[in-house]
Structures are given as structure tokens and as C-alpha cells.
Structure 1
Amino acid sequence: MSLDWDAIVIGAGPAGMAAAATLAEGGARTLLLDEQAEPGGQIYRAVERNRDKARLSAILGPDYLRGAALVDRLRASGASLRFSTSVWRVEEGPIVWSRTDGRIAHERAGALVIATGAMERPVPVAGWTLPGVMTVGAMQILLKSSGLAPSGRLVLAGTGPLFYLFARQCLEAGAEHLTLLDTAQTRNIPAALPHFPRALTGQGWRYLTKGIGLLAALSTGRAKIFRGVTGIAIEGEAQAASVRFLSGGKPQQLDCDLVGLHEGVIPQQQMTRSLGCDHRWDEGQACFHPRRDEWGRSTKPGVFIAGDAGGIVGAEASRHEGEAAALAILAELGRIAPAERDARLQAVRKARGAHLSARPFLDRLYRPRADLATPPDAVTICRCEAISAGSLRLAVARGALGPNQAKAYLRVGMGPCQGRLCGPSVTGLIARETNRGEDETGYYRVRDPLKPITVAELASASRQESRHES
């Protein structure tokens, strides 16, 4: 079987850029695919355009600008780059089907690196489907890609590093009416404290120092902060107009123009699940992770997973994971000797470990609230099909013991997002209702196409597949 590429990398965030650059620099024929129009992923989105914009660069901060050097390295590496491209099917082989400007490509490679990154954890609360309610990550995308900062009466509700970072960025961008509903739980502190000594080692102290600085900046009085927030409900007719909640057990209500929700991030798992890669529930990060070895090699031959797609590790550790996967592939191709691979891996793993030293502490400190998996009956849990948590509970009571059975009962997870936005919540709610763990409860069976394509494009893809087989 002839190969179109030695390696295909999916995703142009820190892990994908590092993997593609390392592969191409090592002499491998490398193709990188990403659905955005430029490299950077979410963390370094539009960094090429923004690095010379002094005002915006100051708002986004030095960690963001650090991505420019990685983009420059990728551009100079010799890797083939294909942007504005959706990957809608992946097969064992590996074989990758993609769509660029309506044109279908069908390509084989010796190895595949999945570096699709993370997504925000769904936050199903009353009113979260109203116009004027967004995720914090979506708001940050607007800031990075278009320089658009939220205006009016802005309420940010949630917790975690990105939550506090974006709140600080809003203040730097000139937000005048910012209120934070901090859902961090003080009961998480005892579970986090045993990991604090390790968090001070390696690069961990830098992350902690940055976090303390963010919290201090938010405590200067420029933003109104409610702590220990629970029971969030967003109200409005045509759009979000107010937020009700409990703070310290006391009921509160705020008028608003825009609401941003955030309860941390979890790995993107649609692509890895569609391939049939094994996944496991990670209690520390309260999400599913694909199983992989020290190189990022998955349970499927030739398939590697790097960066946040394999477990939340952050930008710098993601870069090192991309390099590790690339080194393993280069050795398999005979481009580098096993001794060189192992020596370089040792340095990469040491650097990765230094950036992960604070991760266990942060994961437990900002662990999501248990009630995220048990929203009230009236709350919509599947936005695409307008299925409520109460309807899902009724399906469970009638015998649906997993997400796929619930899908057959209710069409939950069958809308345009294909379960991306409801999958974690559906698994969590069923697990609580049946008193089972998430691993036993399971997740949706993910089917192609992973991204929408037209019937005409499918017909074109069918003709291409016939030509490949003949």
C-alpha cells in the first residue's frame, strides 16, 4: 500500500505544531491539518496577527505571545500545512478524510498524531441556552481573533485558571461592569493540600505565582466578586437579563447583558472515540482520557495522541508531548536511531514533568461541583434536541443504563454537535441516577462524519474511495 505521507498531524495547537515541526525537521513527509485559517490552536489563536498589536498583546499577556516562536518554527520546518480544513473521518491504517473549501481529500499515512486539544466542560444550568449566554472560552476567541472585548453588564460564572485569566483580560481591555460568580469550593482545599509541596517544584511555582497575581488583580475592587456561589439560574425572555444564585447560602440576583460560563476544560474525545481508542475515567480531572503510553501511542496501531486531547496538561507540556510522539515516529521510520530517540525523550519528559508539577494541585483545587452532573429536571441537557434533564431521568427509570440507550429513547446526542456538548453531562447524570461509575456507564458511540459534509461531497468521497481501492 502506497503512503501519501509519513505522518499526518491533526490540530495546530502547541502539541500539533511541535509534533509537525519535529517530524519535518527530522526528514519525515509531514502534513498538518487544522480547521482554523491559521496556526496556534485556541491558546495561541491568531498570534501571528496579534504579536505586533501592542495594546492587544498587553491584554493577552506574555504567555500568549510565547506561541509566536513555535509558529515560526512550524513555518520554517518544511511541513505541509493545510488550514481551513475539517477532518470528518479517520480510519485505522491510518487513513484521514478531510474537507477543504468543499473538496474532499483521502490520504494514508504511516502514523497519525491527534492533537485536537480540549473543549470547555459543559455547564448545564437553568437558562444556559438563552441568547447572551456564552462560554468564557468563546468570549476569549472573540478577543484573540477579532480584538472584541465584552461590554455592558458582564457576569462571569465559574472557576479555574482560564476563568480568572479571562476576567483579568476583561479588566485590562476596559470592562467597567464586571461581576464574578466564583464557584470554587472551599471543601476542595483539603484534597488539594497534599499536592501543594510538589506544586512548588519544577515550573510549578511559576504557575502558582501567576495564579496568585491574577487573584490579587481581581481583588482590587474593579470587579465585584461573589464567592462560594451555587444554584446559578439565568433568566430572561428574548435574552439573558438577570442571574439568580446563592452566595454563602444567601439568595442574590443581578441584572446582566452578557453571561460567560466556565468550569474547566476536558479532552476533545470525538475523534479518538470514532477510531475505537480505549478511554478511561480519570477521577483527578473528572473526565475521560484516552489510554496511551509514554510516547503518546494509543491503543490503535500507528495512532498517537498528544497534548490536551490525551488529558489536560497545558500549553507547555502539550508542546513536549507533541515532540515525544514525533520522536517515536521518527525512530519507527528509521530517521533517528533508538539511542537518540531515548536520549531526546529523556529531556522532553523532564521538561514536561516540570510543567506538570502543579497540575494535581490545581485539578483538585478547581474540581467541578458535583451538581453539574445533576441539574434540575427543567434544565436542558441536550441543546440540539432540546432534551431536559428530567426527560433523561425518566428514560433511566425506564431502563436506559447508558448514553447509547438514552440516545435510542430520546435522540439525545443526535443533533448537529453529535453529542459534544451533552455527552459529558449525559454520562454524569446517568452515573449518578444508577449509582455507578462513569467507566461502567460509558459514553456515546461516535460515528462518522465527525463534521458536517454535504451529500454531494459524500458522493465525491465515495468515488475517491473507489479509485483508491482499484
Structure 2
Amino acid sequence: MDRNMDLIVIGAGPAGLSAACAARACGLDVTLIDEQAAPGGQLFRNIETPMAQAILDPKDRETGLALVKRFRESGATYYPNAVVWGLEPHKVSCTMNGKAEELTASFIVVAPGGMERPVPFPGWALPGVMGAGGADILLRSGGTLSADKDAPVVLAGNGPLLLLLAGHLLDAGVNIAAWLDTGYWSRRILSGALMPAGVLDAAYVAKGMKMALRVLRGKVPIIRNVTNIRAAGTDHVEKVLYDAGGRTHEIAAGTLLRHEGIIPRTHILNSLGAKHVWDAVQRYWHPVTDEFGRTSVDGLYVAGDGTYVHGGDASLLKGEIAGIEIARRLGVLSDAEADHRCTPARRKLRAVRIARGFLRYVFAPNPAIFNVPDETLVCRCECVTAGDIRKAVAEGFRDVNEVKRFTRCGMGQCQGRMCGPALAELTAAAQSKSPAAVGALQVRQPFRPVTLENYCNLNAPD
């Protein structure tokens, strides 16, 4: 295995594939590493299979197939089923086929994508409760949401995947009992001033309107201003309870799909100490980069929704820009040639960001979604409740990492991926502060599980 190359790309989603293709087109020696069995990421997951193709929008299907085909024909080295658990400037540590491997390169592009914002609530650990993204992956993999195909499904939250998922469920003949909207209306009102800019990306706006019309035609009951969502059941969700209009309501359900928006995956960059900033509207941390995706860590770039969540087509542009810029920095392209190749993508990306600026407010998360009862489980790995976190703050622990050390919230196998955002929100709310004031969890390497044998074998002296 050749372990020295020009560029290593981590992640085979739209951004990673695009970066690899752009860099290869410039003549770079490129290796792409991904933990999935096939390229495509979450957006184009299993895109080469008939099942995934059938459920995707025709244009998305065409884009995804063309991207994967271009990548496979690019000549880039590709390692699927590889788990990256360590990263240093110019060096990647991972596990391939059960064996630890170390690869080095002049530059590294991290394209981890985004993830659904995890929000704890009573009953969220019950079987039958999952995120919208996970449910959509099940549908595209040929699975079913419930053993009882006729059992009603409840959608809940406020995020872009709900529209997409609702359409897929309706097309599959699934009974959607209700859509419980937790939208933050004071933010949504602000989006009105930015909506006219949507004409810069009219096709994207039209696509969203088409999905919304599909939901309206499907006569899905939409219930506004919902708070205090909880799932109830014995060994599986049986009903969903919520508050609206000053009263508590309940709906029989076999599945509850909750989605409160998408946040960047920042664990890898966080572990390297890359500079991040807090977005007060979308309520997440994201890495500081220049327009090419260059981070504060030497030789490290980030592309796609791992920088800031703009969507799959924007991720394609971010990846392309990063791949060309790295070729320029290696001296393979002149400044003029790199600028010539990058300019169309940079212009289009700027237009996309302006056009979609209103969505930042439409899908702004409502802080009230974290107002959960004390007994609510927050950290599944270490069985830490919301009450445990509030108690720690009351006893004088102020920073999220102090609360982490006291409660063990965020010390489990997921290293805070599933509890970190809620830990910050609860710690901040208990002090009447912004989450920005209590900091972000400090991620340590290895940031993914690795056997002691593999770790020692890789790090043992020769």
C-alpha cells in the first residue's frame, strides 16, 4: 500500500467525491477513505442500487450517479469500509480490514458532512423512535420503519429533512398521522426579509415548494406551536404526547421520527484544536475556514456541510474548490489557472449562500426543545440525565467540560456526538447564558473506537 501521496480525502459524500475528482483532474495523487461500503455519503447513499435510485428525485439521482461514476473513473485510490480514528497534520490513522494503517499526505481534506441535531426527550430511547435521516436511509435500503406496515407514523420537529422524508413516506404509502411542528416563529418571521434573494437559486426554491405541495396534497395534519414532545410505550413506542394550545394531546403511533435540523460534524477538527465559532441562529459550532475550506491547522481543509450546512449541491461546489486550491498550493496549477478553474464554482457557491440565507432562519432551532424534565436521559452511554447536569451546574460547575468530568456526560463510546449539543444547551440554560459562553466539548483522539491491539501495533516503536 502506498502511504505517501499528495492528498487524502476523508469521506465519500458529495464534498469528498467532488474534492477527489477535482484534485485528480489536476493530476494529483489522491486517496479517499470512507467507512461506508460504497461511495455516496448520506445524500447519495446506495446510489448505485435500484432501491436507492427509485426513491430519489430524478435530478438528484442523475447528479449522484454521475458523481460516483466520475469518481470511479478518476483514478483515485479508494478505501471503503475504513474507519478513521486518528488524525494529525499530514497523517491519518485508520482501521482497514481489521488492521491498523497509517497514511501520510501533503494535504488532507476532511469531508465528514452533517448530522441530525440530537435532542433528548422523554421516551427517545424507545424502539420505534428515530431521526428523519435514519428513517430515510432505511427506506432507501429497502427496509421498513415498523413490523406493522399500517402502524401510524408521527413526524416531529423543524428541519429540512422532514419535507423530504414526508414525500418519501407518502410515496411509499405510509400513514402519517401528524406532523408536530416545533418551529421558532420569532426567527421564521425574520426570514421574510431574505426570501427575495431566493431568485438567485430559483430551481432550489421550486424544489422545496414542490415537496411542500406534495405534503399538502397528502393531507398530512400539521400541528403548529408544539412543545414538550414525549414518546410513551412499554417495549416500543405506542403513542406520542405533546402540548399545544395550552393542553396536552396524544396520538397513537408505531413510529416517531424527530428532526430538529442538521449540524456540522466537528469531532475530527475539534480533536486537532482547529478554530471554531458559534452560530447563534443555527445554534451550532462550525470551523473557521477561508473560501477554499482552509482551516487554522496547517495542511488541513474541510469541505461540505462539515464547514457550514448549506446542502448537498453546495457541498459539491465546496469540494471542487478545495481540490483545485490544493493543486495550486502544491504548485501543480499556476495561480491564474487555479483561479480560472475555481471561479465558476466560487461564484455559484456565493449565489447559493445568499439565495438560501432565509433557510437559516426558517429552520432555526427553538431553544425550548431542550426544556426537558430532570429524569430525561441525555447521555445514553453513561446514563446521565438532565437533572444530573442541572445539579452539577447548581454545585458550581460552569463549563461543559467541567460538567462532563463531574457527570461523565460525553465520556461514552460516541464521545459526545449524541449528547454534546444537549449538554451545552442544558448547562447554558441553567445559568441563563448562551451555549457559546459554556464552550464545546473537548474531543480527544482516538475519536472513534479502536482496539488496543491495533492502536499499540501502529504506535509501537520499530
TM-score relative to the length of structure 2? 0.95
Q: 1:121 aligns with which of 103, 110, 117?
A: 117
Match of 2:142 in 1: 146
Match of 1:133 in 2: 129
Contact kept, 8 Å, 1:35 with 1:83, in 2: the verdict is yes
Contact kept, 8 Å, 1:47 with 1:64, in 2: the verdict is no
Task: Give, in whole Å, the separation in 2 of the partners of 1:148 and 1:32.
Answer: 32
Could you say if the C-alpha distance between residues 64 and 220 of structure 1 is closer, same or farther in structure 2, counting changes exceeding 3 Å?
Answer: same
Match of 2:93 in 1: 97
Task: Give, in whole Å, the separation in 2 of the partners of 1:127 and 1:453.
Answer: 31
Does residue 394 in structure 1 map to residue 391 in structure 2?
yes
Q: 1:59 aligns with which of 46, 51, 55?
A: 55
Contact kept, 8 Å, 1:161 with 1:211, in 2: the verdict is no
Match of 2:39 in 1: 39
SS in 2 for 1:48: coil
Could you say if the C-alpha distance between residues 3 and 85 of structure 1 is closer, same or farther in structure 2, counting changes exceeding 3 Å?
Answer: closer
Could you say if the C-alpha distance between residues 330 and 446 of structure 1 is closer, same or farther in structure 2, counting changes exceeding 3 Å?
Answer: same
SS in 2 for 1:329: helix
Does residue 324 in structure 1 map to residue 321 in structure 2?
yes
Q: 1:459 aligns with which of 437, 440, 456?
A: 456
Give 1:14's aligned amino acid.
P
Match of 1:198 in 2: 197
Tell me the matched-pair count.
457
1:177: how far off?
A: 4.5
CA deviation map 1:305-356 (0-9, x unaligned): 1110011011111111111111111011111111111222221111112332
Match of 1:108 in 2: 104
Match of 2:48 in 1: 48
Q: 10-19 or 151-160, which moves further after superposition?
A: 151-160
Give 1:234's aligned amino acid.
A
Q: How does 1:1-400 map to 2 (within 5 A)?
A: 4-50=4-50, 57-65=53-61, 66-92=63-89, 94-148=90-144, 151=149, 152-200=151-199, 202-203=200-201, 205-400=202-397
- Structure 1: gaps (5+ residues): none
Give 2:42's aligned amino acid.
Q
Give 1:462's aligned amino acid.
N
Task: Give, in whole Å, the separation in 1 of the partners of 2:179 and 2:59.
Answer: 23
1:227: how far off?
A: 2.3
SS in 2 for 1:130: coil
Task: Give, in whole Å, the separation in 1 of the partners of 2:247 and 2:318.
Answer: 45
1:3: how far off?
A: 6.9
1:109: how far off?
A: 0.7
Could you say if the C-alpha distance between residues 183 and 244 of structure 1 is closer, same or farther in structure 2, counting changes exceeding 3 Å?
Answer: same
Give 1:459's aligned amino acid.
C
Task: Give, in whole Å, the separation in 2 of the partners of 1:412 and 1:68.
Answer: 41
Task: Give, in whole Å, the separation in 1 of the partners of 2:414 and 2:389.
Answer: 18
Task: Give, in whole Å, the separation in 2 of the partners of 1:324 and 1:100.
Answer: 29
SS in 2 for 1:357: helix
Contact kept, 8 Å, 1:266 with 1:312, in 2: the verdict is yes
1:401: how far off?
A: 1.0
SS in 1 for 2:105: strand
Percent of aligned positions with the same letter in both sequences? 37
Task: Give, in whole Å, the separation in 1 of the partners of 2:436 and 2:367.
Answer: 17
Give 1:292's aligned amino acid.
T
TM-score relative to the length of structure 1? 0.93
Task: Give, in whole Å, the separation in 1 of the partners of 2:286 and 2:98.
Answer: 32
1:289: how far off?
A: 0.7
CA deviation map 1:122-159 (0-9, x unaligned): 12111111111111111111122335455322111112
Contact kept, 8 Å, 2:155 with 2:180, in 1: the verdict is yes
1:421: how far off?
A: 0.6
1:49: how far off?
A: 1.5
1:246: how far off?
A: 2.0
Could you say if the C-alpha distance between residues 176 and 438 of structure 1 is closer, same or farther in structure 2, counting changes exceeding 3 Å?
Answer: closer
Give 2:261's aligned amino acid.
G
CA RMSD of aligned residues (A): 1.7
Does residue 410 in structure 1 map to residue 407 in structure 2?
yes
SS in 2 for 1:243: strand
Q: 1:429 aligns with which of 419, 426, 431?
A: 426
Give 1:114's aligned amino acid.
V
Contact kept, 8 Å, 2:155 with 2:176, in 1: the verdict is no
Contact kept, 8 Å, 2:23 with 2:323, in 1: the verdict is yes
Q: 36-45 or 426-435, which moves further after superposition?
A: 426-435
Q: 378-387 or 215-224, which moves further after superposition?
A: 215-224
Contact kept, 8 Å, 1:279 with 1:289, in 2: the verdict is yes
Task: Give, in whole Å, the separation in 2 of the partners of 1:359 and 1:425.
Answer: 26
